[in-house]
A and B are shown apart, each in its own frame.
Chain A
Amino acid sequence: MEWVNAAVQGILLGGLYALLATGLSLVFGVMRLVNLAHGDLGILAAFFALVILEATRANALLSLAIVVPFMMLVGYVLQRGVLNRTLEGGVLPPLLATFGLAVVIQNGLLTVFTADSQGLDAGAIETASLRLTDQLAIGWLPVLTLTVAIVVLGGLQLLLDRTQLGRVLRATADDAPAARLMGINDRHIFAVAMAISLGTVAIGGVFLGIRTTFGPFDGPARLIFAFEAVIIGGLGSLWGTLVGGIVLGVAQTVGNQIDPAYQILAGHLVFLAILVIRPTGLFPRAVSRAA
């Protein structure tokens, strides 16, 4: 029965990973950029929420109303001001620039906030749980996280499929120079994609901060989880990222069930197994892209 419990907790944990992974997947899809600072930006959002909480004594969940728009603005400016310039030079510049950014964020946070572990206060929901059966209880917070993940992913998918902005994002992802011929300002669209990306990772970061403690150097681990979720799920598919997150979550919680020391390792091993058995992921999108 503990295994069922572990699996259920894993599915719920997958929601958090999916939230963290969505932005990484989107930005890679639109501009072929792997943002090595992605996890750190999520942690940055959590720290920003912390500042708001300390100033207003509000509930962490409410702080999202300020944190998300702020992080979206950061994403837009970051892409337009810095990262757009790295896109022409091939593979290395974006990786190196975002790596540098990760270091800047980590050490900047350390300088401002010290290395102390922090937590975000969301009130009663943190411990409230729903009893399903005698042996199985699920927390409201993880349920909420998974629900939010599904809503965010669904919303983003709708945006991509049904709106003009979504079409424009997909067209730019296919062929940015041809998109310019449609009147699309690709520099602006890349920045919009990064803004959406940071908006979603901000939500993930805040939920992470509510769920567990966090510190300035917790970004890289989140980047790795997000990255594993994307690869397991399959590049190019948002719903795949959700599945990938869930698979990763279950792998970790089941590993934890075997021995707490194995939790993260179990996730890594499942990731490596997917790399060997099905390198394109569980639900890859087969699309011919323009070079």
Chain B
Amino acid sequence: MSGLAERAGPAVATGAAPILAVDRVSSFYGDFQALFDVSLEVAEGETLAIVGANGAGKSTLLKVIAGLVPAGGGEVRFDGASLARVAAHERVRRGISLVPEGRRVFPSLSVDENLRVGAYRARPGRWTIAAVRELFPVLADRGRRSAAVLSGGEQQALAIGRALMANPRLLLLDEVSLGLDPIVVKQLYAALPQIRAAGTTILLVEQNIDQALTAADRVSCLLEGRISLTGRPADLTREQITAAYFGV
């Protein structure tokens, strides 16, 4: 418990407006409702982890924030402004970048080209291709190689680096650890502090609770499309989290 208190990031109750406000958002895939009136707020510079079982709606929530999936009800506000009519590609310009589930690197482009495409609508900031290569040295080594031949962990590093190239204010990470072995996952998470140090707000979705708890300032749990728990890792017991995760 000792180290956790120090790592508690800026508390939400500073009075500053949250950079991201999800306000009673619902989402549907045809007849199926994935999110039910979900509300949460994230302060600038904070790292919020969203955990939950498969199918709980975590990815859907990120996709709604990124604009890939429409909000069937409710509203998402970024920096106070509603994102209601803002298309996905425009949200990048505003400072929201999503690292999608499954990496989705561009297979017919090289590593360098993937990074450069990430800079298509880059905002000014510290993330240049050199800075990203420093963050993930493997990307410097593999620069000219096709993204398709990278290993899973390397692709994940590329996907994160690619999102950083836009210099986002809000970085959305969808299931970074999915399908990767634990050592690789640890290495990827080791990069997060540097991203946080740049002032970036991070919203990360994880099935791996332990990793999420070590990385995040606050944790929210999604259960069948609803928030079942929110709090700081230091303040939550294992039993509380398990209960919220599985709904028992």
Contact = CB atoms under 8 A, between A and B. Distances in A.
Instruction: Check whether chain A touches chain B (CB < 8 angstroms).
Output: yes
Interface of A: 164, 167-168, 170-171, 173-175, 177-186, 287-290
B104 A167 contact: no
B68 A175 contact: no
A190 B104 CA distance: 20
A162 to B, nearest CB: 10
Contacts of B104: 175, 177-178, 181, 290
In the complex, which of the residues A173, A177, A180, A185 has the most CB atoms of chain B within 10 Å of its own CB atom?
A: A180
B41 to A, nearest CB: 23
B57 interface: no
Interface stretch (B112-120, B186-194, B195-203): B112-120
Contacts of A167: 109, 113, 116-117
Contacts, number: 77
B207 interface: no
Contact of A180 (B88, B109, B118, B162): B88
Nearest to A165: B120
B98 interface: yes
Nearest to A285: B108
Nearest to B162: A182
Contacts of B106: 170-171, 174-175, 178-179
B100 A181 contact: yes
In the complex, which of the residues A170, A175, A183, A290 has the most CB atoms of chain B within 10 Å of its own CB atom?
A: A183
Contacts of B114: 171
Interface of B: 66-68, 87-90, 92-93, 97-98, 100, 104, 106-109, 113-114, 116-118, 120-121, 148, 162-163, 166
Given A180-B88, A182-B162, A182-B166, A289 B121 contact: no
A182 B100 contact: no
Given A170-B106, A174-B108, A288-B148, A185 B117 contact: no
A173 B113 CA distance: 14
A183 B93 contact: yes
Contacts of A288: 107, 148
A168 B108 CA distance: 11
A170 B109 contact: yes
Contacts of B93: 183
B166 A183 contact: yes
Given A168-B117, A183-B93, A287 B88 contact: no
A170 B109 CA distance: 7
Contacts of A175: 104, 106
Nearest to A161: B113
Given A164-B117, A174-B107, A181-B88, 7 more contacts: A171-B114, A175-B104, A181-B92, A181-B163, A184-B89, A287-B107, A287-B108
B100 A183 contact: no
A101 B31 CA distance: 36
